[in-house]
Amino acid sequence: MSIAIELAYLVASIMFVMGMKLMNKTKSARQGNQLSALGMLIAIVATLVQIEAISFVEIIGCMVVGSAIGLYYANKVEMTKMPEMVAIFNGFGGLASFSVALSDYFLRTDVNMESIELVTIISIIVSVFIGGLTFTGSLVAYLKLNGNISGSPITFKGQHPINLMLFIGFLTAAVFTVMDQTDPMLIVILIVIALVLGVLTVIPIGGADMPVVISLLNSYSGMAACATGFILNNNVLIVAGSLVGASGIILTQIMCKAMNRSLVNVLLGGFGQTVNEVQGDGPTITVKEIGVEETAMLFDGVSSVIVVPGYGMAVAQAQHVIRELMEQCEKRNIDFKFAIHPVAGRMPGHMNVLLAEANISYDKLIEMESINDEFPSTDLVLIVGANDVVNPAARNNPQSPIYGMPILNADKARTVIVCKRSMGKGYAGVENELFGYPNCLMLFGDAKQTITKVVSEMKEM
């Protein structure tokens, strides 16, 4: 029986890895998701058949309630609220590992007074630490993103020394717990410090740095699950947890690079404090406007177009009408591409998901590094609801909070049209000097409505 279960776990682990590989490409991503889900089903069934302490009715009951809540929220959530959803999912992942570690600890110390194996007690401590920190840290991230608490950095004097002291306190209590496993006071200290550290490490993070913290917390939830796998001696949990932990760290690194942050800076916490600060009364930007008809005429006369989508495209749900615009351009033999910034929108891959939903072929989506050199030779760039990711201040203005963040060089194209509703700022809350550039024209209005009108004009030409 146990060989069959280990085999099932091995098959499930292979399916997870292959599923992730398939997720590398949009075409095979759905297949990869299904393969991983099947792997998870195999892992769940293999785990359930071993369970003795809890009845099937209880398990199925919990699964039905949990799945119903998950399905309801996943269907209801708006695309623009996905980061909040990911944040809360990470938190629940951390809470699950934290709860399993604690219940295992109390079960072992209550029922069996013999000492717990060294690997197991260390895994319990690691799982309590990372799981607890992930839970409260993710809750704070959720509340910040949802606007329940201020999204700006919350800082106070001595924040970092306090965090360091708490960490040292945790390590000390952890060493004592290993030596005296039955003292409940020690485990209470570990729990409290882990939960408090989760809050303290996330509250100072604000502004444009939030995506980094979300992907880092995602990685933490995987590491907590991996530690829990060691407690339960469950290989598939170790593999799945490591995959989540490693992919979360890789994503964090990609995000750090895209936002010009070092990982050490991220791990120390308290980053992003400069964002939203240097505002003052800068020089007023004078802009030139363009109307729908003139825009359509411009499109009619060019030979290359790059569209830069941003958060505003998601808000307006303009991706479908942008596909129509692409079809109109392709009818005219215009070379048409999309430039994708790694942190455009509000979650990793946000633009890719929306454009794929509108059936736009993945080869049209070009990453920042590959497309940046093409802007100077492009006739027309249409920026749809993007702002921070095309702000030249990131290149030229050392005073700017976003200075150093790699951007799409849209300003270097021959003509730039920016479609947005007003002169409103982006996520980082800074002015965009591009709007005042001589080659830049503002097409004011909601992206979906405005581009729909442009497309109708083009259809009539």
Q: By CB under 6 A, which span of 94-102, 147-155, 290-298, 421-429 interacts with ligand NAP?
A: 421-429
**Is residue 345 within the footprint of ligand NAP (CB under 6 A)?**
yes
**Is residue 154 within the footprint of ligand NAP (CB under 6 A)?**
no
Q: Among residues 87, 133, 315, 394, which is the contact residue for ligand NAP, using CB under 6 A?
A: 315
**Is residue 427 within the footprint of ligand NAP (CB under 6 A)?**
yes
Q: By CB under 6 A, which span of 88-96, 129-137, 363-371, 384-392 interacts with ligand NAP?
A: 384-392
Q: Is 388 one of the catalytic residues?
A: yes
Q: Kindly tell me which of 228 and 274 has the beta carbon lying closer to ligand NAP.
A: 274
Q: Kindly tell me which of 108 and 350 has the beta carbon lying closer to ligand NAP.
A: 350
Least distance between ligand NAP and beta carbon 376 (Å): 21
**Is residue 248 within the footprint of ligand NAP (CB under 6 A)?**
no
Q: Kindly tell me which of 133 and 275 has the beta carbon lying closer to ligand NAP.
A: 275
**Is residue 256 within the footprint of ligand NAP (CB under 6 A)?**
no
Q: Among residues 91, 385, 401, 406, which is the contact residue for ligand NAP, using CB under 6 A?
A: 385
**Is residue 316 within the footprint of ligand NAP (CB under 6 A)?**
yes
Assess contact for 441 and 417: CB atoms under 8 A: yes
Least distance between ligand NAP and beta carbon 347 (Å): 5
Can you give the chain as a three-state secondary structure string? CHHHHHHHHHHHHHHHHHHHHHCCCHHHHHHHHHHHHHHHHHHHHHHHCCCCCCCHHHHHHHHHHHHHHHHHHHHHCCHHHHHHHHHHHHHHHHHHHHHHHHHHHHHHHHHCCCCCCHHHHHHHHHHHHHHHHHHHHHHHHHHHHCCCCCCCCCCCCCHHHHHHHHHHHHHHHHHHHHHCCCCHHHHHHHHHHHHHHHHHHHCCCCHHHHHHHHHHHHHHHHHHHHHHHHHHCCHHHHHHHHHHHHHHHHHHHHHHHHCCCCHHHHHHCCCCCCCCCCCCCCCCCCCCECCHHHHHHHHHCCCEEEEEECHHHHHHCCHHHHHHHHHHHHHCCCEEEEEECCCCCCCCCHHHHHHHHCCCCHHHEEEHHHHHHHHHHCCEEEEECCCHHHCCHHHHCCCCCCCCCCCCCHHHCCEEEEEECCCCCCCCCCCCHHHHCCCEEEEECCHHHHHHHHHHHHHHC
The one-letter code for the residue type at 3 is I
**Is residue 411 within the footprint of ligand NAP (CB under 6 A)?**
no
**Is residue 447 within the footprint of ligand NAP (CB under 6 A)?**
yes
Distance CA 328, CA 460 (A): 11
**Is residue 420 within the footprint of ligand NAP (CB under 6 A)?**
yes
**Is residue 83 within the footprint of ligand NAP (CB under 6 A)?**
yes
Q: By CB under 6 A, which span of 127-135, 295-303, 339-347, 433-441 interacts with ligand NAP?
A: 339-347
Q: Among residues 348, 354, 355, 356, which is the contact residue for ligand NAP, using CB under 6 A?
A: 348
Q: Kindly tell me which of 235 and 273 has the beta carbon lying closer to ligand NAP.
A: 273
Q: Among residues 147, 158, 283, 424, which is the contact residue for ligand NAP, using CB under 6 A?
A: 424
Least distance between ligand NAP and beta carbon 430 (Å): 9
Assess contact for 184 and 105: CB atoms under 8 A: no
Least distance between ligand NAP and beta carbon 287 (Å): 12
Residue 167 burial class via C-beta count within 10 angstroms: exposed 0-12, middle 13-18, buried 19 and up: middle
Residue nearest to ligand NAP (CB): 426
Binding mask 274-313 for ligand NAP (x = CB under 6 A): ------------------------------------xxx-
Distance CA 341, CA 365 (A): 10
Tally of residues, the chain: 461
Q: Kindly tell me which of 131 and 342 has the beta carbon lying closer to ligand NAP.
A: 342
**Is residue 339 within the footprint of ligand NAP (CB under 6 A)?**
no
Assess contact for 252 and 220: CB atoms under 8 A: no
Q: Among residues 82, 88, 127, 388, which is the contact residue for ligand NAP, using CB under 6 A?
A: 388
Q: Kindly tell me which of 197 and 351 has the beta carbon lying closer to ligand NAP.
A: 351
Q: By CB under 6 A, which span of 295-303, 363-371, 419-427, 452-460 interacts with ligand NAP?
A: 419-427
**Residues binding ligand NAP: what is the number (CB under 6 A)?**
33
Q: Kindly tell me which of 277 and 446 has the beta carbon lying closer to ligand NAP.
A: 446
Distance CA 228, CA 101 (A): 6
Catalytic choice (183, 281, 363, 388): 388
Distance CA 399, CA 264 (A): 23
Catalytic residue numbers read 388
Binding interface with ligand NAP (CB under 6 A):
83, 208, 210-211, 259, 310-312, 315-316, 343-348, 350, 385-389, 419-422, 424-428, 446-447
